[in-house]
């Protein structure tokens, strides 16, 4: 990633629907060069796709929560089965496999508190591999819309 790739990536993250010509103009290169740079970023796996950002309340998902879960026994098969089954639930936005006290952090979005309660009772309490879980309501979810490369880590001795 050089400065030009970073600039192109910044503009795509701000608005992926803008024409290639507009991005090229903003970064000061020819449209053909910009298009080739974008193709290379996709080929290298830097750009993984383009998505529409949707307002969760517009989808009747006004309440978000993080559910921390611990599973037992801690085996590859139990972890893999849990990841696959939970990630397919319609209420689940993301599943994070963690190190530390909790094995998983599950981001869910539901209609209201009553549906969150029902989701936890129906989807978590009846699973034998879940040793424990706890939920945390999300009041506000902020994200960084534009990510740039970080400098390489310096090794100190």
Quick one: pLDDT band at residue 156, thresholds 50, 70, 90? Answer: confident
Question: What's the pLDDT score for residue 111?
Answer: 98
- Please compute Rg for the chain using Cα positions: 21
Q: With 80 as the cut, is the pLDDT of residue 157 above it? A: no
Distance CA 50, CA 94 (A): 17
Average pLDDT, whole number, for the chain? Answer: 95
Is residue 78 classed as helix, strand or coil in its secondary structure? helix
pLDDT in tens, 96-129: 999 999 999 999 999 999 999 999 999 999 899 9
Q: With 90 as the cut, is the pLDDT of residue 153 above it? A: no
Contact 72, 102 (CB under 8 A): no
Domains of the chain by start residue, with CATH: 3-43 (1.10.10.10), 56-138 (3.30.70.920)
pLDDT in tens, 44-78: 999 999 988 899 999 999 999 999 999 999 899 99
């Amino acid at each position: 990633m050089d400065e030009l790739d970073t600039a192109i990536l910044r503009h795509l993250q701000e608005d992926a629907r803008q024409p290639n010509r507009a991005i090229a103009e903003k970064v000061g290169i020819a449209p053909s060069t910009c298009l080739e740079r974008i193709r290379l970023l996709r080929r290298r796996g830097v750009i993984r796709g383009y998505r529409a950002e949707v307002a969760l309340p517009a989808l009747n998902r006004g309440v978000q929560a993080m559910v921390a879960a611990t599973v037992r026994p801690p085996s590859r098969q139990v972890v893999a089965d849990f990841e696959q089954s939970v990630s397919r639930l319609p209420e689940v936005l993301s599943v994070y496999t963690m190190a530390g006290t909790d094995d998983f952090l599950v981001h869910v979005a539901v209609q209201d508190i009553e549906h969150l309660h029902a989701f936890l009772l129906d989807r978590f309490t009846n699973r034998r591999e879940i040793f424990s879980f706890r939920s945390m309501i999300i009041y506000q979810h902020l994200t960084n819309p534009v990510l740039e490369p970080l400098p390489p880590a310096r090794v100190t001795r």
